[in-house]
Structure 1
Amino acid sequence: MFLLRGTDVLLRAKTMQALANSSVAGSPVGPFQIVDTETGEVVDKYLYIPGNPKQYRFDAKEGKFSIHYDENNIEKLGSSLSFQPIAWRIFSDDILGQGLKIWAELFFIDEADCVSEILFHGYSVANLERLITPLVYNRIKLNEVVLTVNADKRENNKIQPKGIYYIASFTYKAADKAITQEMTDYVQIVNLYRRETLTETGKTQVAKNVFNPFVDLLPEPEPSELQEEAPEQTALA
């Protein structure tokens, strides 16, 4: 058997209780649910299949963004994408058949109210880290801003014919405080992760609000461990 870390369980339980207490007594609509105006059905406000978020991709060869539902259902977008992060992590791992790389994974709610995810690697990750540094020193959290990601063209003149590729550059603006608070509450009641990007061997540099079963799920302690006596404490004068 496995269990969540105690602090995570307690935090999520308190958050869910607070949200429940804030709702209208007797209302059939729970936290982060809405009533369909056409059918009267109570539905989730934000759509999310656990472990399988809506996938956005950045093509470093073409400098374009796209939405991948599957390999035969791809919606192409432009060379810029804006979103407000709700969870993120920077890590190194061998995933998606691409070998060992440093990755940045960001989760957000898109315009269609779908929980979404996008990955960056290489120089794009370095650019994101350069943006995060001044945010930290100005006491601004990444989930408090709206990121705009642009595809910047680069040339490799060391090969002939010269190679053309793109890296992601990041700018930001302050996000709406009410939306930020709602997103902060939402991430406390869901487990945000993409199943394909998690392994037992990945090394995380930084993570926020991302659920990782290899870290967040612990073996249930043996009864003997629970009965161990606490070490004696030395009294201070």
Structure 2
Amino acid sequence: MIRESTGEVINKYKYLEGHPRQYRFDAKEGVFNINGTEKLGRTLTFQPITWRIFTDNILNMGTKNWAEIFFIDEKDCVSSVLFHGYSVDNIFRLIEPLYYDDLTLADVVITALAEKKEYTKSQPKGTYYIATFSYKMADIQRSAELKLFSEEVKIFRQETLTDIANIKTAFHFYNPLLQGEALEELPEGVTYSEVRGAVEEVYQIGNGEA
């Protein structure tokens, strides 16, 4: 994007490197939220710009299959959302038909829906949610713009990075650890929860919300 008054190239998307805006899927309650606080409902619609599907031990949750997807939200913030378990299987079911049509997740707009399931092997019975996915074709011009952006920007989430992840598939994902780069360390006494809160405040200020 070019500022007409000066000819300066500027970036219209807001992104603090390594700290995307965090969307979450709450598999217990069956809702999506922003940063664990702002509830959005049972669906989330987005166009992926970067992703990786991988196996790793992250977030103190043990070794699991994960899908980490980055997108631009409605307020032009680079954002990320994580899925694991059966939800990852459902993403693969989405990728397969796209592949045979010479398309990727970057060419479509995805709607994730929280689908209710029941525990049948435990007593008393309980419920949980998995994410199912549907898609429609994205605007070709916007897709080209987003692909160019994700090629030029180092997109990753610092909290989920290791140098031992088993990557099954990825698109424009940048891992500074594999490039010999050191991650910034948190100041003594500062937690990732506090960092997430500060990052979200920055995005809200950028959107005129704070």
Equivalent-residue separation in structure 2 for 1:88 and 1:48 (angstroms): 16
What TM-score do the two structures reach when normalised by structure 1? 0.73
Please state how far the C-alpha of 1:161 moved relative to its aligned partner. Answer: 1.6
- Measured against aligned partners, the alpha-carbon deviations of 1:42-71 in whole angstroms (never above 9, x if no partner) come to xx4111000000000001101100000xx6
Residues 1:26 and 1:110: Cα distance change in structure 2 (over 3 Å): closer
Residues 1:159 and 1:25: Cα distance change in structure 2 (over 3 Å): closer
Equivalent-residue separation in structure 1 for 2:163 and 2:152 (angstroms): 24
Matched, 1:56 2:23: yes
Please state how far the C-alpha of 1:25 moved relative to its aligned partner. Answer: 8.8
Q: 1:194-213 to 2 correspondence within 5 Å?
A: 194-213=157-176
SS at match of 2:144: helix
Please state how far the C-alpha of 1:28 moved relative to its aligned partner. Answer: 3.4
Please state how far the C-alpha of 1:188 moved relative to its aligned partner. Answer: 2.0
Point out where structure 1 has 5 or more consecutive residues left out of the alignment. Answer: 1-18, 34-43, 219-237
Q: Which amino acid aligns with 2:7?
A: P
Matched, 1:140 2:103: yes
Matched, 1:184 2:147: yes
SS at match of 2:147: helix
Equivalent-residue separation in structure 1 for 2:141 and 2:180 (angstroms): 32
Equivalent-residue separation in structure 1 for 2:150 and 2:164 (angstroms): 25
Matched, 1:108 2:108: no
Equivalent-residue separation in structure 1 for 2:125 and 2:149 (angstroms): 47
Point out where structure 2 has 5 or more consecutive residues left out of the alignment. Answer: 182-210
Equivalent-residue separation in structure 1 for 2:69 and 2:4 (angstroms): 36
Q: Where does structure 1 differ by over 6 angstroms across 4 or more consecutive aligned residues? A: none
Paired residue for 2:53?
90
Over the matched positions of the two proteins, sequence identity in percent amounts to 50
- RMSD, aligned CA: 1.8
SS at match of 1:188: helix
What TM-score do the two structures reach when normalised by structure 2? 0.82
SS at match of 1:196: helix
Please state how far the C-alpha of 1:214 moved relative to its aligned partner. Answer: 2.7
Equivalent-residue separation in structure 2 for 1:29 and 1:146 (angstroms): 31
